[in-house]
A and B are shown apart, each in its own frame.
Chain A
Amino acid sequence: MLPEIGHFALILSLFFAVALSFVPILGYVKKHKVLMAYSVPLTHVTSLLVLFSFFILAYSFAIDDFSILYVSQNSNSLLPVAFKLSAVWGGHEGSLLLWVLILCGWASAVAYKGKSLPEDIRALVLATLGMVTTGFLAFLLFTSSPFIRLLPDMPKEGADLNPLLQDVGLIIHPPMLYMGYVGFSVAFAFAIAALISGNLNSSWARWARPWTSVSWAFLTLGIGLGSWWAYYELGWGGWWFWDPVENASFMPWLAGTALIHSLAVTEKRGVFKSWTVLLAIFTFSLSLLGTFLVRSGVLTSVHAFAADPTRGVFILVLLFLFVGGSLLLYAMRAADVKSDVSFGLTGREAGLLINNIVLVTLSLTVLLGTLFPLLFDALDMGKISVGAPYFNTMFSPIALFLMLVMAVGPLLRWNRTKLDTLLKQLIFPLVLSVILTGVTLIWQTFEWITMVSLFVAYWVMLLVLIDWFAKLGNSSAGWLQKARRLPRNYYGMLIAHLGMAVSLIGILFVSVQSQEEMVRMAQNDSVTLSGYEFVFNGVSQVKGPNYVANRANISVFQNGRQVASMEPEKRVYQARTQMMTEASIDAGLFRDLYISLGEQLDETTWGVRVHVKPFVRWIWLGGILMALGGLLSALDKRYRKVSGARI
């Protein structure tokens, strides 16, 4: 009975979402205040219904209701409870439900926080979000309902959650990622509302900014978590594979990064207005495209489990409706928008323009590499794959250039910067970065990309510090007070930029200095890597809740002293008889030791893969810093004050 109630709630929510898409618009056209005001309760009711059906699905997982097809495919009675709950989004149907739930969550948050928005804008924003919700609820209900039952002969046992997904990282990775991805719908909705109302002054940018920053922060965390999960769970020791699904989340991130910056210009200076609107549309379109790529199964990928053509077509139609519709609206309206303020070539506006051009170029690069195999196949030119080297050669030089400029950007003033003052500020960090790079690399083999990357990392860090000190001024008295008085927005930027440098250092050292060896090992065999000696002490059998495993024990010595005892496992999950490598990692700020157990080669000998990965934690540490920066700038007092005032 319960699943039917959940299903019914979902159907009901579709009706409310449809109403939400039309009633406020009708009110807007007729200038009818009450109809517009309906947007708020309609949003909340839709959200509550979706939340309710989500709870029912989660409850069905918790009580092992295998009469539900989706539950029986993705759970098992032996599965630990935490994983049963995260299995709710372990498959296609459930992740889509989570997608819609988070969309509704954002919409309700806008309805709740937006009390002070002008009534017509709020109505239009919520109606736009209602349309997106309608589209995805329809997709969910017509092609991928999670409540389909297997009656009367229901299975006694479930097929179990894919062992790869039985992991803490996977409990939080999808919700974080979706929070980001889907959160860009709010900026999109503000842009659409601005276009419809023709009210394209800088206030829409101010309203959209904190929402965009928060979504961006979540997306950053989500991508970071995904990378971390891939690192320890896939057992190859890689942290980024340019897998189509990774790209699907990375493209909106790049565009979203551009959006954050162009929103700042539009808010502060009133320029780039129509560009910012376009960018908001572009960013959300990439989120939708990502959803399409992942959920339609058109791409060969680790993540693409389902391959059901009707789903692909449905979501493609949705994609065209949203992207086409909003671009049409843009084409009709954007001509009326004129940026009335001009700016100089040495101003901060120009710097942010470069930022935008480069970031959009980067996202197009990734887009091209991701879609190229599809294009090739569609033209019947054969099946191809675009390898990681493409992305690396493309990405590194452009990204390094971006960071080089990024460091200077905050030093620029609006409209115009005095070049000689700027040069004076730059000369010291330039010299120091060169020296530091030289000192760090003195015992290394010379390589351009390494040298430039390291230089850029130092350059960014030094300039962040210099900018901060400059803002504090020379007066030594009360600098603490001054430091406190600087806006959160500013600290957010500093921390996020610092995070970029930290990640760059991680990426650099991992790519250049990682050591890896694959060896045959029997009892007491040893292998030495980067000064660490790994001694194999044999393998024992252990039994987990829903798997059995061979667990190796390996002692690690450095300079004759034991530094770690590591236990990588080879698991066999019983429900699917699926084999899984569980790597053992000894983590450290400056290096990770990483061991994964390969196949059993004979009675006592195993294949073993050993890595030493310097600075790998820095990659994710930088990601955390960036996310913190994003959250901090969204919490700036300015937004609270401004949103309290009517404009």
Chain B
Amino acid sequence: MHPVRKKRLITISAILVIIGAAVGLMLYALQQNINLFYSPSQISEGEAPNNVMIRVGGMVVEGSVNRDPSSLAVQFEVTDYAHAVKIEYKGLLPDLFREGQGIVAQGKLNQDKVLIAQEVLAKHDEKYMPPEIADALDKAKKKAD
């Protein structure tokens, strides 16, 4: 083969190999790490799978927050005003976690449809509503009408 062509061939195959590897890795990693969002209504209708990492959001139900007196375990419910989901979490809650406030929790559902959360997120501004929750509330309201 002509040396210039050979060089070009090597360069191009090297580029293709790198890009191929990157795309493969990317798709693999994406597949593993997409967390779907479910509203409490979707969960009570059984749309969400058990034992898969998901996100759930809604308003914290007034009077539902229950703390374990001897550890940092805490239990509460979130609602989209149509249905509610129980969430269990162990750890410190974010500053803006409050009853009546919108939060998003990430975790896995167990057999009893209780979300065992690994992370609880509240936004950094008390006026700010996470769009997923706004959307879920909206849908639940439309259904009720």
Residues on A close to B: CB < 8 A?
162, 164, 235, 300, 302, 305, 307, 342, 344-345, 350, 353-354, 357-358, 361, 364-365, 368-369, 372, 376, 382-390, 393-394, 397-398, 518-520, 576-581, 596, 598-599, 601-602, 607, 609
Contact = CB atoms under 8 A, between A and B. Distances in A.
Contact of A393 (B32, B95, B126): B32
B37 interface: yes
Nearest to A344: B7
Given A357-B15, A607-B72, A599 B93 contact: yes
Contacts of B10: 345
Contact of B25 (A164, A388, A394, A520): A394
Given A384-B34, A390-B30, A599-B93, 17 more contacts: A345-B10, A358-B18, A361-B19, A361-B22, A364-B22, A365-B22, A372-B30, A383-B135, A385-B35, A387-B34, A389-B29, A390-B34, A393-B28, A393-B29, A394-B22, A398-B25, A577-B126
A519 B30 contact: no
Given A369-B30, A384-B35, A578 B92 contact: no
A357 B15 CA distance: 7
A361 B21 CA distance: 10
A344 B69 CA distance: 71
User: Which of B7, B11, B15, B95 counts the most A-chain CB atoms under 10 A from its CB?
Assistant: B95
Interface string B58-96: 000000000101111000000000000000001111011
Interface in B80-119: 90-93, 95-96
A348 to B, nearest CB: 15
A254 to B, nearest CB: 13
A578 B132 contact: no
Contacts, number: 110
Contacts of B91: 518
A388 B32 CA distance: 11
A581 B37 contact: no
Nearest to A579: B95
Nearest to B98: A579
B125 interface: yes
A607 B90 CA distance: 11
B93 A393 contact: no
B96 A601 contact: no
Q: Is the interface of B mostly helix, strand, loop or mixed?
A: mixed
A598 B92 contact: yes
A55 to B, nearest CB: 28
B105 to A, nearest CB: 12
Contacts of A376: 34
Interface of B: 4, 7, 10-11, 14-15, 18-19, 22, 25-26, 28-30, 32-37, 53, 55, 67, 69-72, 90-93, 95-96, 123-126, 128, 130-132, 135
A394 B72 contact: no
Contact of B67 (A302, A368, A382, A601): A601
B93 A345 contact: no
Contact of A368 (B26, B32, B96, B128): B26
Contact of B126 (A345, A364, A576): A576
B34 A305 contact: no
Given A385-B55, A598-B93, A393 B124 contact: no
Contact of B36 (A384, A576, A602, A609): A384
Contact of A581 (B19, B26, B95): B95
Contacts of B35: 384-387
A384 B37 CA distance: 6
Contacts of B128: 305
Given A390-B33, A599-B92, A162 B125 contact: yes
Contacts of A581: 95
A604 B11 CA distance: 68
A387 B53 CA distance: 10
Nearest to A376: B34
A358 B67 CA distance: 49
Contacts of B25: 393-394, 397-398
A622 to B, nearest CB: 24
B22 A398 contact: yes
A365 B30 CA distance: 10
A383 B95 contact: no
Contacts of A364: 22
26 contacts: A164-B124, A300-B130, A302-B123, A302-B124, A307-B131, A350-B11, A354-B18, A357-B19, A368-B30, A376-B34, A382-B36, A383-B55, A384-B36, A384-B37, A385-B34, A387-B34, A390-B33, A390-B34, A393-B29, A393-B33, A394-B25, A394-B26, A397-B25, A577-B126, A602-B69, A609-B92
A385 B37 contact: yes
B16 to A, nearest CB: 10
A217 to B, nearest CB: 28
B89 to A, nearest CB: 11
Given A519-B72, A520-B71, A580-B95, A387 B33 contact: yes
Contact of A300 (B70, B96, B126, B132): B132
